[in-house]
């Protein structure tokens, strides 16, 4: 897996990096999640962290395993937005194991998963992700009793009226200084 560009707000630079993607060698979803997550962990903590992953979800070539990718994503604090390009819309005609893995990782981080059936939808999906990132709230709590370090903790959040929410469904406890 190769990173084609550093973090940048230079859109032409990012577009040039996307054009250098070589098709056909396989799909390394887990490696990509780990690469992005680790890069974001090195960024300043005060910045919002998001990964937008555009993939066919046919995990075929990762060296990294599912649990490692999920762990890295949760630990990074990033929201994972997965855009799955469906060359075949019928589930019986495609490998859905990668999709199910992405659903789990995406759900764990509080991001969202979208299906792309037509490339004309891509800009609309990017706009939707942009709007969501600009209209978020931050809630926090201190669990009692305090969990031991390095344990996945699950969160369930409900709002009146049943409005659907995207939120981080789990976190990795880090332990607190006494």
Q: Encode pLDDT of 93-151 as tens digits.
A: 566 778 889 999 998 898 999 998 888 888 899 999 988 888 877 778 788 888 888 88
Fold of 11-138: Rossmann fold (3.40.50)
Q: Output the six-digit token pair for 112.
A: 């969202």
Considering only residues 56 and 164, tell me which one the structure prediction assigns the higher pLDDT.
56
Strand 170-172 and strand 152-154: the pairing is antiparallel
The model carries a pTM of 0.81
Q: What is the pLDDT of residue 133?
A: 87
Confidence check: pLDDT of 69 > 90? yes
pLDDT tens readout for residues 147-177: 888 888 888 888 888 777 777 887 777 755 4
What CA–CA distances, in Å, run from 95 to 27, 68, 92, 116, 154?
12, 21, 8, 16, 28
Q: What is the 3-state secondary structure (H, E, C) of the chain?
A: CCCCCCCCCCHHHHHHHHHCCCCCCCCCHHHHHHHHHHHHHCCCCCCCCEEEEEECCCCCCCCCCHHHHHHHHHHHCCEEEEEEECCCCCHHHCCCHHHHHHHHHHHHHCCEEEEECCHHHHHHHHHHHHHHHHCCCCCCCCCCCCCCCCCEEECCCCCHHHCCCCCCCEEECCCCCC
Mean per-residue pLDDT of the chain: 84
């Amino acid at each position: 897996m190769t990173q084609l560009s550093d973090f940048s707000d230079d859109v032409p630079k990012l577009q040039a990096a996307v054009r250098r993607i070589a098709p056909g060698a396989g799909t390394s979803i887990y490696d990509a999640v780990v690469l992005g997550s680790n890069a974001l962990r090195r960024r300043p903590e005060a910045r919002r962290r998001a990964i937008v992953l555009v993939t066919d979800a046919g995990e075929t070539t990762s060296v990294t395993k599912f649990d490692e990718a999920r762990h890295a994503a949760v630990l990074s604090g990033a929201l994972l937005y997965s855009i799955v390009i469906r060359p075949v819309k019928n589930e019986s005609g495609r490998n859905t194991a990668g999709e199910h893995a992405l659903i789990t990782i995406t759900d764990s981080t509080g991001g969202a998963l979208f299906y792309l059936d037509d490339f004309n939808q891509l800009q609309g999906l990017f706009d939707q992700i942009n709007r969501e990132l600009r209209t978020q709230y931050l809630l926090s709590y201190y669990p009692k009793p305090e969990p031991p370090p390095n344990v996945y903790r699950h969160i369930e959040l409900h709002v009146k009226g049943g409005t659907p929410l995207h939120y981080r469904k789990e976190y990795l406890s880090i332990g607190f200084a006494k």
